[in-house]
Amino acid sequence: MYILPVPRQWEEKEGLFLLDYRCRIAVEATVTEHIYYYAKLLQEDLEKQLGYAPAISRGESSAGDILLGINSSLLEEEYHLNICREGIYLVSGSEKGLLYGIQTLRQMVSQAGALLPCCEIKDYPGITNRGYYFDVTRGRIPTMESLKALADKLSYYKMNQLQLYIEHSYLFRNQSEVWRDDTPLTAEDILELDAYCRRLNIELVPSVSTFGHLYKVLKTKTYGVYCEAPEQTKEEFSFHDRMHHHTLDVSNEGSIEFAKKQIEEFLPLFTSEHFNICADETFDLGKGKSRELAENKGIQRLYLEFVKELCEFVIEKGKRPMFWGDIIAGFPEAIRELPKEVICLNWGYAPEQREDETKVLFDAGAVQYVCPGVGGWNQFINLIESSYKNITRMCSYAHKYQALGVLNTDWGDFGHINHPEFSTTGLIYGAAFSWNREQLEFLDINRQISCIEYGDSSGKFVDRIAVSAPKSVFDWWHVVMYKEYGNTEFATEETVTKASAANEELSNLKRKLYAGLTSMKPEKRGLIKAYLVAVDGMILFNNIGASIAHGKYKVAGEAKKGLAAELEYWFYDYKEVWRTVSRESELYRVQEIVIWYADLLRTLDC
Which amino acid is residue 100, in one-letter code? Y
Q: How far is CA 312 from CA 95, 307, 516, in A?
A: 33, 9, 55
Please identify which of the residues 77, 281, 421, 453 carries the catalytic annotation.
281
Is position 281 annotated as part of the catalytic site?
yes
Neighbouring C-beta atoms of residue 279, cutoff 10 Å: 28
**78 DSSP 8-state letter:** -
Rounded CA separation 545/567 (Å): 13
Q: Which residues contact 108 (CB under 8 A, 6 or more apart)?
A: 1, 3, 83, 116
Please name which of 241, 224, 282 lies closest in space to residue 138, comparing C-alpha atoms. 241
Q: Which residues contact 591 (CB under 8 A, 6 or more apart)?
A: 571, 575
Grouping H, G, I as helix, E, B as strand and the rest as coil, residue 158 is coil
Which amino acid is residue 79, in one-letter code? Y
Cα 439–Cα 434–Cα 160 angle in degrees, nearest 5: 145
Please name which of 440, 433, 441 lies closest in space to residue 127, comparing C-alpha atoms. 433
DSSP alpha helices (H): ranges in 441-525? 442-452, 461-468, 476-485, 495-515
Which amino acid is residue 249, in one-letter code? D
Rounded CA separation 208/228 (Å): 19
Cβ contact 490:478 at 8 Å: yes
Q: Which residues contact 428 (CB under 8 A, 6 or more apart)?
A: 4, 157, 445, 449, 453
How many CA within 13 A on the CB side of residue 25? 22
Which amino acid is residue 296, in one-letter code? N
Euclidean distance between the first and final Cα of the chain, in Å?
58
CB burial class (10 A; 0-12, 13-18, 19+) of residue 312? middle
Which amino acid is residue 498, in one-letter code? K
Rounded CA separation 248/278 (Å): 13
How far is C-alpha 551 from the chain's CA centre?
39
Please name which of 380, 384, 377, 387 lies closest in space to residue 413, comparing C-alpha atoms. 377
**265 DSSP 8-state letter:** H
CB burial class (10 A; 0-12, 13-18, 19+) of residue 113? exposed
Largest Cα separation within the chain, whole Å, is 81
332 preceded by a cis bond (ω within 30 of 0):
no
Q: Which residues pair with 283 in a beta bridge?
A: none
Rounded CA separation 322/278 (Å): 7
Cβ contact 403:564 at 8 Å: no
Rounded CA separation 141/6 (Å): 32
Which amino acid is residue 82, in one-letter code? N
Rounded CA separation 430/406 (Å): 8
Catalytic residues: 281
